[in-house]
Structure 1
Amino acid sequence: MRTQRMTQRTRRPWRGFSALGVLLLLLSGCSGITVHRAGPAGLLDDWQTSTVMADDLSPRTLQTLRQLDLEHAYRRAPAETYTRLQAMAANDPQPDLVFALAEMSYILGRKAEKWENANAIALYYFCAGYAYHYLFPCEAVAKAQEEKANTTAIARDAPSLFPLDLSPARAFDPRFRLACDLYNAGLAKCIRAAQRVGQLDPGKELHLPTPDGHGFALSVVQQGFAWRPTEFGTLLFSEDFKVDGLTNLYRTYGLGVPLIGTLKAAGAGPAHIFYPKDVNFPVTAFFRFEGTLCDLPTQRAGRLELYNPLAAQVVQIKSRPIPLQTDLTTPLAYFLSRSDLNGIEYEAFLRGDRIAKRTGIYMFEPYQPGKIPVVMVHGLLSSPLTWAPLFNDLRADPFIRDHFQFWFYLYPTADPYVATAADLRQTLVELRSEVDPHHQDAALDQMVFVGHSMGGLVSKLLTTDSGDDFWRLVSSEPFERIKASPETRAELQRVFFFEKMSSVRRVIFLGTPHHGSSLSPSPPGRLLAQFIRLPKRLMAAARDLKEENPNVASSLRSGNLPTSLDLLAPHAPALELMAYRPAPPGVHYHSVIGVIPSRNYWLDALLPGGNTREGTDGVVPYESAHVNGVESEIVIPADHFHLHHHPLAVQEVRRILLEHLQATTEQPIHILQVSH
């Protein structure tokens, strides 16, 4: 077993709290993830550098105007000077002229927008177009410019800085990045204007009015999405929102406008029943300017390309791979901030029946054949939203997201975890029958489960053969001899008799109480248990069993069906039964354990396990989280509630996933394309 300790435990700083304080912290849940409207500043203004002021041209463009003796003319009559420069560029498209036009278009567009002038959108369109042609001139222009440059001895010996040359030398010209910003800013303004006319639906064409009356036909296409074109709803702008609650913001820089995709409604596909309500997804919009620079003012049609940044990070322009500008985090935060899963952890704990129709596996993205599922199972008084930071970090890794897909399980956390595991088994069977009824996707036979706290126990039960061991905790009477209605017998059979699921190959335990927690039987824990109402089906089965069979467990005879809190007490029989079972052949276990650094013995004593040599995460002592038979164990300086968010835990989960992927190379799993 590989064991690592990421803490140096000599004298340990106190960060303890009482059992009641722990409980209150648990009830408070994780800090919320929110988005709020950002200021009115546009995309370009947000990244303003020393080369561009809000309403004036950059020094480089002003120099170009001075060289042409047009600076004073621009100050007196900017629109007329702009028109003269357009004519000059059409005759001789020098890079300096083209860049100056892009910048002037943006500045004039801003001024026109302030005065609500109809020409503003046309100017923003020209801004994006001139920036595009500066970055990617047509072949004839590039060749002519290169021949002209080669006529000088200096040019023959120096690296070309002409825009078609995308060598590292280009990075030293500030206009290169500024041209990208101008393209993105101009395109964003145009998309906003188009949305005021109508919705941008993939596969359809939107007719936009123009100041000259000719109109512009904008077709919309999607690239790389598993969502159907008919499922796309309104597109929102990532730049309009600021994220709170997620530490890491995953963005890349290039060309395009990052958007937040929405769904119109759940479709009829087999996996749609597993999507949460109002799910959002990242989109990058890109507009390809066809033709030459001279064609720009007369073009009457164009194509807006919507890319899935989770699948494509580059776009091909003139046979060159160009990075897309992307934002993966803001769409996720936008969805989570509006999700109806917010606050569900309390209802799921106290009144499990009320969320019966909402329990099960959630997919934040469409099912992707060929990708290995990583199923995340939350713990007590929690919900799938607790996985947001870990999911955000893992999904940002292109290699991880190319080979894994992430699913999340929601369940009533007061239910006995043996019953929860039975529900999860049934859900997994139903899910596969929907998305892979003929068992053709080998990736679904290589599933990885990640369980936080009690979620680790639920996950471990999926890899366990019960025999009659769990039934004997309930009754000394052989199961076949009990008296019960057919419905009760079927329910008991489902909960207490099971075989390991061969599709579950690896389980990662995060702060899992294999030997229980003293917080469970504490006075606050007992007080909280008084407010729990277990699901009616479980209560009915227990009542039926008790009435007909005298040899059931004492808890059932007293009419009190044990809750998950009862079954998490230190040395609870069900826990001990599970703790000493080794991993079955073909299944791999890993442990990630939190220990709060501390140095005050008397204050540590208030924590579950806090006064022991090995320490505690504030809820689960190390001795409880430690279990034999795991392939790796790592100890991280984190409390119970933030363990699965800690950077070292994220790194460890990523390492285990890569190890799992490597182990599957003997049975290659090919990434399949989803077709509709």
Structure 2
Amino acid sequence: MSLAAGPLSRANSRRPVAPTVAAYLLAIALLTVGGCASTGSSKWVSLRSTPRNPLTDALGLVAKQGPKPTERTLQLLRRYNLEDKLGDKRALFAELNAINRREPNREHLYALAELAYIGAKRADAAMKSEEALELYGSSVLYSYEYLFDDSYSTPSNEFDPQFRRACDLYNSALEGTLRIVQSQGALRPGTSRIIKTANHDCQLEVQLKSKGWHEADFDRVEFVSDYEVHGLRNHYHNFGLGVPLIAIRRHLEPKDATDAAEQFYPPDLSFAVTAFLRIDADSARESDNAVVPTSTAAFAAPPAPPQKRTLHAVLELHDPLDSTHVDADGARVPLETDLSTPLAHNLSQPALDEDTLSTAGLLTPEKADRGLYMLEPFRADKIPVVMVHGLWSSPVTWMEMFNDLRSDPAIRENYQFWFYLYPSGQPFWQSAAEMREDLAKMRVSLDPQRRSPALDQMILVGHSMGGLVSRLQTVDSGNEFWRTLSDKPFTDLQADAEIRDDLAETFFFDPNPSIRRIVTIGTPHRGSEFSNDFTKWLGRKLITVPTKLMHGRSQLASRNPEYFLPSAPLNITNSIDSLSPKSPLLPVLLEAPAGPWVKHHNIIGQAPREGFTNKVSMWLSGEGDGVVSLESARLDTAASQIVVPSDHMSVHRHPQSILEVRRILLQNVAELQNFPHNGAVQYATSALPPGSEPPIPQLPGPIATLPTAEAAR
């Protein structure tokens, strides 16, 4: 299954595979000096033997004798001489409800919720799904009333451990309910169904609460509690009410899609939602008002055989990227959310395997996929942060930073994250030309009338060679890039129209007016000694030069004798050669003027000297991160620049780098909010007068910011 799902992917012909021995040599060379490839886990999540349940220890859910009440509940039963009725649920619930009507007390509600949940777990284990569903529903209602019913004389005590257990009972009982309901048919928003048990008919409506996803996006849901995360360093799980779920997106071919963003979503995309159940209080009370005049009547078992009753409930599926709280009977309640498990679940699919993507992009660039990809719903009102990987890598390399940044509510509120995949085996300037084309196509697809100001505030974050690809989106070529090829006018060039157009797009370009900031991390602005005679020889042996490029070179040489300079980069056919310190485009890029609206931030890695690998790396590439020297990584024109204690492979995943990117993103929002013209977003064409700067609010400084002159020392 291909990762690329839309028109930005390319169909490619097969090419011969390079010799195995040479492949091993290149791999060893790259790994020895700490190449750009990720060390991401090949197994991001695994299924748990039993679902995670916060009540496991408190209620003895996995004990041999089965679940049992807490001591606090047993104490309440002893006080009312009800302990001997534990084996008769119907009589026990009837007496406890009667006691609660005479002496309203939240302790009684908690005991009812806990006992109903224990009964549901026992019935579930015995495959009595109707009884389990009835009892799970009772537990949801009792715990909800414990938490929010303000008719009791004393309010809920949030400092009481019982309060948190009541939250866990609501969540766990709701999850048990959803598991049974889902076994009878997939849960999809926009649908309604009748759930039948012995005592009730429940009219359940499923509603989606999301500003980005649509009802048609849902294929199925899975439960976060079934999975254990391995591949991410940090796991972001926020506590509250509700059941965190993994929604599996229904993929459509672009030709069948009505949403223009469809082409940018990979197949089998997973995303986070939280299920929250609301039960109509009136229908609960009317179900048997004479027996129990509270919401608990809905599932209370009366002494006589009850008449079948009808309840109305709404299951809300909340997108945690949009909302982290819900209103529950006038109270603002946090949702239980999990952003990390759905992300890890998504990364576990074979199409996103890091080794496959990165190696294909390096060795067979003609066959490799390329394009922009989104793991979140497209939002026209959020600023895009586009992450660009480096050599022998893929978008998967950004998942640690993505996971950490997205955990910040202020980041989620203002930004959306996109990822650019490109064949890292080709010269970086060719990848930059393709990225310019892909960004232009994206804008035409998503905002053809250019009515979304947020898309004109784009931020690029590039690691290693991805920093060069990103920087080439922000500078003005003038004639300087062409002069690395020839000192003759472009108009004198003899070539087919397609080849002329490709050359023009690669060597003549303007800065993208929609890009406002760029962050380069471990980028070889002056090349890398890693690109030495040995690695360049291996690269030429292993990296398959695209047929189109070879044909173009042959035609240009034959039809334009003595037109190109001897040092012309036309002869550079792979990325390793293009990163050499002798590469003719690097000094031109270093001096090229950026758009006056662009701010550049730079992060440099400095690996420790300990260890054989680091010593070899620094011997090859000089003092720095093991691949890029401090001198090459330094950028005198950067608005901010820091040095991070990390090697090249990990510098973009280092906590200090992630905190710096977070600082830059928050500062960007603060500057936009304090910009003149009443805080309105300004387009790139509305540049400030020369020499003037918008007011910058007082913000925490960058972590370990160094003066640019000191960064390379």
Task: Tell me the TM-score normalized by structure 2.
Answer: 0.83
Is residue 2:362 matched to residue 1:362? no
C-alpha contact 1:200 1:206 (8 A) present in aligned 2? no
Q: Deviation per CA, 1:409-452, whole angstroms, max 9, x where unpaired?
A: 00011111111111111111111111111111111111111000
Asked if structure 1 preserves the Cα contact closer than 8 Å seen for 2:33 and 2:627, the reply is no
2:616 corresponds in structure 1 to: 606
Tell me the equivalent position of 1:130.
142
SS in 2 for 1:664: helix
Q: Which residue of 2 aligns with 1:244?
A: 230
Contact 1:197–1:208 (Cα < 8 Å) also in 2: no
What is the SS of the residue equivalent to 1:262?
Answer: strand
- 1:197: which partner in 2? 184
1:85 corresponds in structure 2 to 96
TM-superposition CA deviations, 1:84-124 (whole Å, max 9, x none): 32344356542121111100011111111222223112111
Alpha-carbon distance between aligned partners in 1 of 2:555 and 2:383, rounded to the nearest angstrom: 41
Match status 1:516 vs 2:502: no
User: Quick check: 1:32 aligned with 2:42?
Assistant: yes
Return the letter of the residue paired with 1:176: F
Equivalent of 2:85, from 73, 84, 88?
73
Structure 2 residue 119 is the aligned partner of structure 1 residue 102: no
Q: CA deviation at 1:208?
A: 2.0
SS at match of 1:258: strand
Q: Which SS does the other structure have where 2:352 is aligned? A: coil
**Deviation (angstroms), 1:628:** 1.2
Q: Which amino acid aligns with 1:129?
A: L
Partners in 2 of 1:120 and 1:349 — Cα distance? 55
**Contact 1:374-1:405 at 8 Å conserved across structures:** yes
Decide whether the 8 Å contact of 2:46 with 2:229 is kept in 1.
yes
Letter aligned with residue 644 of structure 1: H
The alignment yields a C-alpha RMSD, in angstroms, of 2.5
Distance 2:554 2:598 in 1: 37
Using the alignment, how far apart are the partners of 1:559 and 1:489 within structure 2?
A: 13
Q: After TM superposition, list the pairs within 5 Å mapping 1:470-481 onto structure 2.
A: 470-481=481-492
1:408 to 383, 396, 419: 419
Q: Residue 563 in 1 paired to residue 574 in 2?
A: yes
2:51–2:225 contact (8 Å) kept in structure 1 = no
CA distance in 2 between counterparts of 1:195 and 1:56 reads 27
Does 1:177 find its partner at 2:164? Answer: yes
In the other structure, the counterpart of 1:652 is 660
3-state SS of 2:488 partner = coil
- CA offset at residue 509 of structure 1? 0.7
* Alpha-carbon distance in 1 for matches of 2:375, 2:37: 25
User: Does residue 293 of structure 1 match 2:295?
Assistant: yes
Decide which of 256, 263, 271 is 1:281's aligned counterpart. 271
**Aligned partner of residue 349 in structure 1, secondary structure:** helix
Matches of 2:423 and 2:479, distance apart in 1:
25
1:502 and 1:639 mapped to 2: Cα distance?
33
Code of the aligned partner of 1:123 = L
- Residue 246 of structure 1: SS of its match in structure 2? coil
State the AA in 1 paired with 2:174.
Answer: L
CA distance in 1, matches of 2:554, 2:246: 50
Match for 1:383: what amino acid? S
Residue in structure 2 matched with residue 461 of structure 1 by the alignment: 472
Provide closer, same or farther for how the CA distance between residues 315 and 52 of structure 1 changes in structure 2, counting only shifts above 3 A: farther
- Assess if the C-alpha contact under 8 Å between 1:475 and 1:551 holds in 2: no
2:219–2:247 CA contact under 8 A, matched in 1: yes
Tell me which of 328, 338, 358 is aligned to 1:327: 338
Residue number among 637, 656, 666 corresponding to 1:629 in the alignment: 637
How many angstroms does 1:488 deviate by? 1.1
Residue aligning to 1:119: 131
| 8 Å Cα contact 2:459/2:515 also seen in 1 | yes
Q: Is the 8 A contact 1:491 1:541 kept in 2?
A: no
Give me the whole-angstrom Cα distance separating, in 2, the residues matched to 1:282 and 1:658: 24
Please say if residues 37 and 358 of structure 2, whose CA atoms lie closer than 8 Å, have aligned partners that are also in contact. no
Q: Which amino acid aligns with 1:345?
A: S
Q: What amino acid does structure 2 have at the position aligned with 1:68? A: Y
What displacement does 1:207 show? Answer: 2.2
Q: Residue 56 of structure 1: SS of its match in structure 2? A: coil
Give the equivalent residue in structure 1 for 2:358: 345
1:316-372 CA-to-partner distances (Å, cap 9, x unmatched) read 0111100100001000110011151312111111112213xx311111112111211
- 1:520–1:526 contact (8 Å) kept in structure 2: no
Within-5 A mapping of 1:41-52: 41-45=51-55, 48=58
Which whole-Å CA distance do the structure 2 matches of 1:63 and 1:300 have between them? 33
Contact persistence 1:57–1:103 (CA under 8 A): yes
Quick one: which amino acid aligns to residue 102 of structure 1? A
The secondary structure found in structure 2 opposite 1:513 is: coil
Letter of the structure 2 residue corresponding to residue 244 of structure 1: H
Q: What amino acid is aligned across from residue 549 of structure 2 in structure 1?
A: L
**Correspondence for 2:587 among 549, 566, 576:** 576
Distance in structure 2 (CA, Å) of the matches to 1:222 and 1:22: 49
How far 1:295 moved relative to its partner? 4.0
Aligned: 1:221 with 2:233:
no
Q: Report if the CA contact (8 A) 1:582-1:629 is conserved.
A: no
Instruction: Report if aligned partners of 1:372, 1:443 keep a CA contact under 8 Å in 2.
Output: yes
2:54 aligned partner, one-letter code:
L
Unaligned runs of 5+ in 2: 1-26, 282-293, 300-308, 682-713
1:443/1:27 CA distance change after superposition, 3 Å: closer
Larger mean Cα displacement after TM superposition, 396-405 or 340-349 = 340-349
How far residue 538 of structure 1 moved from its aligned partner, in angstroms, is 2.5
Query: What do residues 561-594 of structure 1 show as CA deviations (whole Å, max 9, x unaligned)?
Result: 4311111011321111112335441211111111
Query: Residues 481-520 of structure 1 correspond to what in structure 2 (within 5 A)?
Result: 481-520=492-531
Q: SS of the counterpart of 1:365?
A: coil
The Cα shift of 1:20 comes to 5.8
State whether residues 462 and 501 of structure 1, in contact with CA within 8 Å, keep that contact through their aligned partners in structure 2. Answer: yes
Query: How far does residue 80 in structure 1 lie from its aligned partner after superposition?
Result: 3.1
Contact 1:377–1:452, Cα closer than 8 Å, also in 2: yes
Shift of 1:25: 5.8
CA separation of 1:20 and 1:338: change in aligned 2, threshold 3 A: closer
**CA distance in structure 2 between the partners assigned to 1:639 and 1:31 by the alignment:** 19
Structure 1 residue 662 displacement after superposition: 2.3
Amino acid of the structure 1 residue aligned with 2:633: A
Gap change, CA 1:571 and 1:560, over 3 Å in 2: closer
Matched, 1:255 2:241: yes
* Residues 550-559 or 386-395, more deviating: 550-559
CA distance in 2, matches of 1:194, 1:324: 21
SS at match of 1:507: strand
Q: Distance in 2 between matches of 1:528 and 1:134?
A: 67
Task: Tell me which residue corresponds to 1:10.
Answer: none
The structure-2 alpha-carbon separation of the partners of 1:20 and 1:351, relative to structure 1 and needing over 3 Å to count, comes to closer
TM-score (norm 1): 0.87
CA distance in 2, matches of 1:24, 1:446: 33
Q: Percent identity?
A: 38
Alpha-carbon spacing, 1:46–1:621, altered in 2? closer, same or farther (3 Å): farther
What SS is found at the alignment partner of 1:301?
Answer: strand
Counterpart pick for 1:60 among 68, 72, 78:
72
Cα distance, 1:271 vs structure 2? 1.1
Letter in 2 for 1:272: E
Task: Indicate the SS of the match to 1:591.
Answer: strand
Counterpart residue type for residue 37 of structure 1: L
* 1:241–1:669 Cα change, 3 Å: farther
Q: Deviations over 1:282-302 (max 9, x none)?
A: 000000133142442244331
User: For each residue in 1:451-506, what CA deviation from the matched residue of structure 2 results, as whole angstroms up to 9, or x when unmatched?
Assistant: 00000001111111112222222223221101111111111111111111111111
Classify 1:21/1:352 alpha carbon distance in 2 versus 1 (closer, same or farther; 3 Å): closer
1:518–1:608 Cα contact (<8 Å) kept: no
The answer on 1:234 being equivalent to 2:220 is yes
